[in-house]
Amino acid sequence: MKYTFLYLIFGASFLLFTSCKQEAKEQISKKPNIVFIMSDDHAYQAISAYDDKLINTPNIDRIAKEGMLFTNASVTNSICAPSRAVILTGKHSHINGKIDNISPFNTTNVTFPQLLQKAGYQTAMFGKLHFGNNPKGFDEFKILPGQGDYYNPRFITATGDTIVKGYVTDITTDLTLDWLQNRRDAKKPFMLMYLHKAPHRSWMPAPRHYKEFTKKTYPLPTTLFDDYATRETTAGPAEMNILKHMTLRYDLKITDEVLAELNIEEHLGIGGLNKFNPQQRAEWDKVYGPINEAFKKEYSNMNDSTLMVWKYQRYMQDYLGTIAAVDENVGRVLNYLDDEGLTENTLVVYTSDQGFYLGEHGWFDKRFMYNESFKTPLLIKWPNVITPGTTEDEMVQNLDFAQTFLEVAGVIAPEDMQGKSLVPLLKGEKEKWDRDAVYYHYYEYPAEHAVKRHYGIATKEFKLIHFYYDVDVWELYDREKDPQELNNVFNDPDYAQVVSELKEKLNGLRKKYKDSDSLGYQYIQLYKDKGLIEE
């Protein structure tokens, strides 16, 4: 009797113990998976969910159709590696220290993947990171060194480097699907960072898109011939004008032979073209050869304005051509999630590390707090949480991802993270969202493209920017009346009140985020110490 009783107690506790353990396991495995898809320099103007006049991106659009399209998402510092550091740390550049593409990422920063990994998530990263050091907090990574190559790219892995033959966008996806298929631990939730190199300069599409895209003609942006009047000392000196600074050889693939015949001298290299194998080169020449021939014939009849239009069209053909492959590959990953029954419990994000100029203001590249580079595409789907087909116009930033993902995973975010979880917006609880302004600070100057250092504040109605270091210029844009940001109304007496209110608000944001003039000067000193600028 005594023993039977003991057996019963023992048996019951064992059952209780195993069922608790089981439950805990299920709890963990029920946590949502996170797929973070990011491309490099993908302008929202080149996603048909935002605007279909340039390209159709049905697979990327699907994320918005099944989820939410953010129309007011922006970055805090419109340049690659700094944006990635902000995303991983949930802290502004001046706090995480990665202010530009040059300075190293301080690996003592705490990143959200480390916290998710600790909380039981399986984590992986594939594609472009651009940090100069390997990412922490990942069970597996295969990343491109620096900017990476479009053709036959080299990947860095935890166990050494490997060169993979083929086209980078397809390969990054192959690696991602291979991990999902063969090394995903079904007992754990996962967080996957799937990061495309495309559509970064110098734009090289996949062979299957050469023909279609090089035949297309695109509508000209209304500000293609912007003369930067009212912005002479800020927008004016930037070196990213398509006519003046986009190169025929490196960017637009005119060969050395043609340039020599036309007596044109250029200094930028030939970019990714030297990474082709002979067969890839032959495929390329079949389509780009005739383009070269046509240019040779037309060049002598071109003036500045026709050359600008020709360059714009060539730029768009290759830039958008690379996006066609990104869209197809995003479709492959979404289909995989469907086929494996993972869609239901997976949050999928599509975004870019910043926006990009597609001829607006005559420009390519990014960096400015002006609209096209400040704004970034953001589409999120999360079945059973987000109402499909929702558009959200609240001001959100890349600063918000870390806290969003931590909340999704049920992990408490460190107090010093500076963003805001987007979960209330995803749930449609707009009343819980109270942000009315965002902060921006760009540092990489003097440097390529000559965009001066500036910081500023944006509300839905206005943008106030201060350019400093070798200028001291304030600009104010009325975003509703002047969405193209052509008229700096900072000195217009009608806006005096707005200026004074916004300056106060800007000071408030700088205090809140712990930025200051003295910190700005410290970062200038860093350039002096490195000899990047003179004392």
Q: Tell me the three state secondary structure of residue 464.
A: strand
The reply to whether 365 sits near ligand SGN by the rule CB under 6 A is yes
Looking at the Cβ atoms of 199 and 419, the one nearer to ligand SGN is: 199
* Least distance (Å) between residue 39 CB and Ca ion: 9
Rule CB under 6 A: is residue 372 a binding residue for ligand SGN?
A: no
For position 80 contacting Ca ion by CB under 5 A, the verdict is yes
Which among 468, 463, 467, 474 has a CA at the least distance from the CA of 502? 463
Which one of Ca ion, ligand SGN, none is in contact with 117 (Cβ closer than 5 to 8 A by kind)? none
Instruction: Name the token pair of 60.
Output: 């990327």
Q: Does 386 bind ligand SGN (CB under 6 A)?
A: no
> Which range in 106-114, 200-208, 306-314, 377-385 contacts ligand SGN by CB under 6 A?
200-208
- Rounded Cα–Cα distance for residues 126 and 139 (Å): 11
- Written as six digits, the tokens of 242 are 């398509």
Q: Which two tokens stand for residue 329?
A: 């590959």
Q: Is 79 one of the binding residues for ligand SGN (CB under 6 A)?
A: yes
Q: Does residue 41 belong to the site contacting ligand SGN (CB under 6 A)?
A: yes
Judged by CB under 5 A, does residue 40 bind Ca ion?
yes
Span near Ca ion by CB under 5 A; candidates 38-46, 47-55, 168-176, 243-251: 38-46
Of residues 68, 80, 252, 254, which one binds ligand SGN by CB under 6 A? 80
3-state helix, strand and coil shares in percent for the chain, rounded to the nearest 5: 40, 15, 45
Q: What angle do CA 64, 67, 71 make, to 5 degrees?
A: 55
Considering only 31, 34, 37, 41, the residue that binds Ca ion (CB under 5 A) is 41
- Using rule CB under 6 A, residue 40 touches ligand SGN: yes
Residue 478 touches Ca ion, criterion: CB under 5 A: no
Stretch touching Ca ion by CB under 5 A, among 186-194, 215-223, 267-275, 351-359: 351-359
User: What is the smallest separation between the CB atom of 444 and ligand SGN, expressed in angstroms?
Assistant: 8
74, 111, 172, 202: which one binds ligand SGN (CB under 6 A): 202
The residues pairing with 34 across neighbouring beta strands, listed in sequence order, are 191, 347
- Residue 201 binds ligand SGN (CB under 6 A): yes
Give the whole-angstrom CA distance, residue 377 versus residue 68: 11
CB 171 within 8 A of CB 329: no
Q: Which of 77/346 has CB closer to Ca ion?
A: 77
Neighbouring residues of 167: CB distance < 8 A, sequence distance ≥ 6: 150, 151, 206, 207, 325
Task: Give the x-and-dash track for 175-204 against Ca ion (CB under 5 A).
Answer: ------------------------------
Max intra-chain CA distance, the chain = 107
Beta carbon of residue 235, minimum distance to ligand SGN (angstroms, whole number): 16
Which among Ca ion, ligand SGN, none contacts residue 470 (Cβ within 5 to 8 A by kind)? none
Q: Are 516 and 510 in contact (CB under 8 A)?
A: yes
d(CA 267, CA 258): 15
* Residue 328 interacts with ligand SGN (CB under 6 A): yes or no: no
Got the DSSP string for 347-379? EEEEEESS---SSGGGB-S--SSSHHHHB--EE
**DSSP for residue 140:** E
- Taking the C-alpha atoms of residue 261 and residue 247, their distance in angstroms, rounded to an integer, is 16
353 binds Ca ion (CB under 5 A): yes
Q: Assess 311 for contact with ligand SGN (CB under 6 A).
A: no
CB of 130 to ligand SGN, least distance (A): 6
Using CB under 6 A as the criterion, what x/- string covers residues 263-302 for binding ligand SGN?
Answer: -----x----------------------------------
The rounded Cα 6 to chain-centroid distance in angstroms is: 62
> In this complex, which beta carbon is closest to ligand SGN, that of residue 360 or of residue 365?
365
User: Which residues, in sequence order, are bridge partners of residue 397?
Assistant: 74
Which of the 8 DSSP states describes residue 98? -
144 is an interface residue for ligand SGN by CB under 6 A: no
**Distance in angstroms (rounded) separating the CA atoms of residues 357 and 462:** 20
Helix (H) or strand (E) holding 327: helix 304-339
* Partner in contact with 448, chosen from Ca ion, ligand SGN, none, beta carbon below 5 to 8 Å by kind: ligand SGN
Q: What is the DSSP letter of 101?
A: S
Q: How many CB atoms lie within 10 A of CB 184?
A: 17
Please name the residue that has the structure tokens 């104010």: 476
Answer yes or no whether residue 449 interacts with ligand SGN by CB under 6 A.
yes
In degrees and rounded to multiples of 5, residue 462 shows phi and psi of: -135, 165
Nearer of residues 40 and 372 to ligand SGN, judged by Cβ: 40
Q: Which is nearer to Ca ion, 100 or 392 (CB)?
A: 100
- 117 lies in the binding site for ligand SGN (CB under 6 A): no
Torsion of CA 235, 236, 238, 242, to 10 degrees: 100
Instruction: Specify whether the CB–CB gap between 362 and 226 falls below 8 A.
Output: yes
Query: Would you say 353 or 400 has its CB closer to Ca ion?
Result: 353
Q: Which is nearer to ligand SGN, 112 or 442 (CB)?
A: 442
Among 333, 282, 310, 354, which Cα is nearest to 84's? Answer: 354
Q: Smallest distance, Å, CB 228 to ligand SGN?
A: 19
Pick between residue 41 and residue 400 the one whose CB is nearest to ligand SGN: 41
Between CA 75 and CA 72 the distance in angstroms is: 10
Q: Tell whether residue 532 is a contact of ligand SGN (CB under 6 A).
A: no
Interface residues toward Ca ion, by CB under 5 A: 40-41, 80, 353
Interface residues toward ligand SGN, by CB under 6 A: 40-41, 79-80, 101, 130, 147, 200-202, 268, 365, 448-449
